[in-house]
Amino acid sequence: MEKLSQNILRLSISAALITIPASALFIGYEYLGYKKGIAEYAGEVSAKYEKFIENIKEMYPERAQTLEEYLQ
């Protein structure tokens, strides 16, 4: 009976030593993928915002200075 308990304990420890690093790798991969997605989205929004501001300046050149002051 003692041998069975030792073998079960060894199997449990082995499973934990395999599962924990695999889980950490998975969580890290998902986190970095999420972070990359957010960075790409922020870049797209920023580019659209800059394009919008440039269009406003072209449409209303007399207000471009006021817009620049407001954005600073």
For the chain, give the percent of residues with pLDDT over 90. 44
E-state strands within the chain:
none
Predicted pLDDT of residue 4: 87
Please name the residue that has the structure tokens 């920023």.
Answer: 46
Q: What would the pLDDT profile of 8-25 be if each residue is shown by its tens digit? A: 999 889 888 888 888 999
Say if CB 53 and CB 71 are below 8 A apart: yes
Based on its alpha-carbon atoms, the radius of gyration of the chain, rounded to whole angstroms, reads 28
In the structure, what pLDDT confidence band is assigned to residue 43 with cuts at 50, 70 and 90?
A: very high
